[in-house]
Homo-oligomer: A and B are copies of this chain.
Amino acid sequence: MKIALDMMGGDRAPEATILGAVQAARDFGITVQLVGQPDVIQTELDKHQTDGLDLPIIPASEIIEMYDHPSAAVKSKKDSSMVVAIRLVKEGQSDAFVTAGNSGGALAAALFGLGRIKGIKRPALSTVFPSDSEHGCCLILDVGANTDVKAEYLQQFALMGYHYAQKVMSIPNPRVGLLSTGEEENKGSLLIKEATPLFKQSNLNFIGNLEGKDIPGGMADVVVTDGFTGNVYIKGAQGVALIIQKILEREIKARPMAMVGAFLARGALKALKAKLDYREFGGGPLLGVNGVVVVAHGRSDAYAIRNAIRVANKAAANKIVQAIEQGLNSG
């Protein structure tokens, strides 16, 4: 298996991306193609022990920056790491593409370079969100690819999410929920009222409409929403978790006894952190494009990059694109 990694994307590139690539190549025995500026990559690579690892450098001179306008950048920066890596996937020289860079850029590069799976109206960006379910997480989509959607798109997001959860997250019969303002069918926006019957008619395991609290509560394995709501939701959840941590640390530091207490409780605090750690989940797949693309968090460290490569590897090995194609044809 060969995974093309964007060496130039992400807040901690190239240090974290290189280290993540080295770890992934070692831990999973796969080829990680390092796509980006060769001198930058070589300098970082020389810092690591890479004997026996397959880490070829694929030159790409340009970078799509976080502030770049996605589609304009993809069109003008033909030799950017994203565009070059997507070309590798298109040409069959890579099995998947992983980036921690500009997610809009990844979407645009994938749409231009790979196109959509036949029959898919819109690709969706997904994220794996920690939850209190048997599997410890759920897939939310869309979280930002489409801010304005139609009911039909939501139905396709459900199908793509269902197959991803099954093939890559190893959940036998994923429970699919539609995010709304209440479980009752008379609640929700006009869009939700139009989408709900489509979900009920589908042969997916639709468990009904959910509220915001049901996602961390672990009620569903796949949660479908539009890209505006999904994006606001996941950033809000991250913000809440962050602020809770910040306030707790502040209150503990203000009390000497509490500092001793926190030390004694450090195992529990660590376990909590691990359960909420986005790095464990390894980034979210961009579903609906004609190839495997995984978008890791912009703040990804080496461990998060390693896990995003793991996820991309599994998605390619389990042929997620073909699973979605077949799902479309049979549904």
Contact = CB atoms under 8 A, between A and B. Distances in A.
Interface of A: 69, 131-132, 144, 147-148, 179-181, 186-190, 192, 211-217, 225, 227-229, 231-244, 246-248, 251-252, 254-255, 257-258, 260-269, 271-272, 275-276
Contacts of A147: 181, 187-190, 192
Contact of A265 (B144, B189, B246, B265): B265
Contacts of A192: 147, 228
Nearest to A131: B243
22 contacts: A132-B243, A147-B192, A148-B189, A180-B232, A212-B232, A212-B239, A213-B235, A216-B239, A217-B242, A225-B232, A233-B233, A240-B240, A247-B275, A251-B269, A255-B265, A255-B267, A258-B267, A258-B268, A261-B266, A261-B268, A264-B264, A265-B265
Given A181-B228, A213-B236, A262-B268, 11 more contacts: A148-B190, A213-B235, A216-B242, A225-B232, A232-B233, A247-B272, A248-B268, A251-B269, A254-B268, A257-B265, A258-B264
B243 A216 contact: yes
Contacts of A248: 268-269, 272
A131 B189 CA distance: 27
Contacts of A228: 180-181, 188-189, 192, 229
How many copies altogether? 2
Mostly, the A contact residues are helix
A254 to B, nearest CB: 7
Contacts of A240: 216, 237, 240-241
A207 B271 CA distance: 38
A73 to B, nearest CB: 13
A302 B237 CA distance: 29
Nearest to A190: B148
B235 A211 contact: yes
Contact of A267 (B243, B257, B271): B257
Contacts of A264: 257-258, 260-261, 264
Contacts of A265: 252, 255, 257-258, 261-262, 265
A237 B228 CA distance: 16
Contacts of A262: 261, 265, 268
Tell me which of A148, A187, A231 has the highest count of chain B C-beta atoms within 10 A of its own C-beta: A231
